[in-house]
Chain A
Amino acid sequence: MPNLKDLRVRIASVKSTQKITAAMKMVAAAKLRRAQEQAEAARPYAERMERMLNSLAAASAGREGAPELLAGNGRDQVHLLVVGTADRGLCGGFNSGIVREVRRRIAALRKDGKTVRLLCVGRKGRDQLRREFGDAIIDTIEDVAKPRLRFEAAESIAKRIAQMFEAGEFDVCTIYYARFQSAISQVVTAQQLIPFAPADGAHGGAHGGGWRRGRGVGRGIRRGLARGLRVRAERGGYPGGAAAAQPGGAVVPGAAGEHRQRAWRAHDRHGQRDPQRGRYDRQSDADL
């Protein structure tokens, strides 16, 4: 039974934590806005690249000699799943939503006797998948959004994926990420990168086979595909690096770690470790 003094100390503790959280919210809101602007500015490129790849895929469908990055290598045995999550937590169901989808997919693939490999972009995805599928994780790429998310980061990931594909390390590649809708809603999306799966409602065959292929375009297509991968990878990468919402305020994963550290420090200052908080922190470790 807590006595009056305990209660007073507790009230003081909660109040000071409240102040810190309020400050964090402001920082997070600013970071979120910046990330959102950046992402929205990058969308036109991704959209147009996708449009171009769609018409290319439609034009080369069923033809001999289509590039393998576009048409696939005809096998379906080894699946590479690219898991795009945040590096930090404290952002509600952002990361666990993505991981849940990935788990479901791994289970389905393994049931069909396929081999699954994982490439994690972002620490949180790795942390959550490590225990169960540690042997499947090839590598983890961290800090893609530090100090800010750049196209080059996506480019290098795409290059790596393309190299792995050429080395025959997998047959099908799918990326999992949260597509940004608003600060409180991100849609977990799976998108097949290799072989290229035209989006629904693609203007398939709009140009028929009517593309005039200039000299050197075959080469160009290959390079274009690599670029396209990059674009998709970037789109996938963005929300992970950007933001997610937390009940009671938007928290940017980048900021969340500081947040938690600071909360802990504040907490230590008050020299009490209440079970409620302890539980909360444990929970967020598993949850985020």
Chain B
Amino acid sequence: MAEEQVNFELVTPERLLVSRGVDMVVVPGEDGDFGVLPRHTPMISNIRPGVLGLYQDGELTESIFVAGGFAEVTAARCTVLAGQAMAVEDLDRGAAEQKLKDTREDLEDGRDDEARREAERQIAVCEEILRITAS
């Protein structure tokens, strides 16, 4: 095990989900995935719907789905603020399909830009869930 670790924290509005040291964490940034190792350059990035990977001793130990949010990286820590998060194993394909169908309808009769943007965001989340659970 490496001497230095990244203090990784995953927080949702409901609760603090993960708070521990990991060797590396891979974050689905809006502009592409990025890996965070100890002593990373400070940065802030948006997160797209996708999977957070936590690595220990070179092995992927945990995969967590996040439905978008922010990541704050400093030399010592990586904090992910997500609107929603759950373990990849707990994703519900059926529910996502249903939601996708409903949201598409919402998008059709969305009145203002705000509502349409929100629907598009939801659709992106559902499609990502379907993509992940397809395998």
Contacts and interface: CB of A to CB of B under 8 A. Distances in A.
Contacts of B29: 214
A216 B14 contact: no
B70 A212 contact: no
Given A41-B14, A215-B31, A227-B70, A48 B79 contact: yes
A217 B15 contact: no
A233 to B, nearest CB: 12
Interface in A217-266: 217, 219-221, 223-224, 227, 231, 234
Contact of B41 (A41, A151, A212): A212
B5 interface: no
Nearest to A224: B70
B2 interface: no
A42 B70 contact: no
Contact of B46 (A51, A56, A151, A223): A223
Chain B, interface SS category? strand
Contacts of A48: 9, 11, 72, 79, 81
B42 interface: yes
Interface residues of B, number: 22
Contact of A213 (B12, B13, B43): B43
B63 interface: no
Given A52-B81, A214-B29, A216-B30, A45 B13 contact: yes
Contacts of A221: 44
A52 B71 CA distance: 9
Nearest to B79: A48
A211 interface: yes
Given A217-B46, A223-B46, 18 more contacts: A41-B15, A42-B15, A45-B15, A45-B81, A48-B79, A49-B81, A51-B79, A52-B72, A210-B41, A211-B44, A216-B31, A217-B43, A217-B45, A219-B46, A220-B44, A220-B46, A227-B70, A234-B13
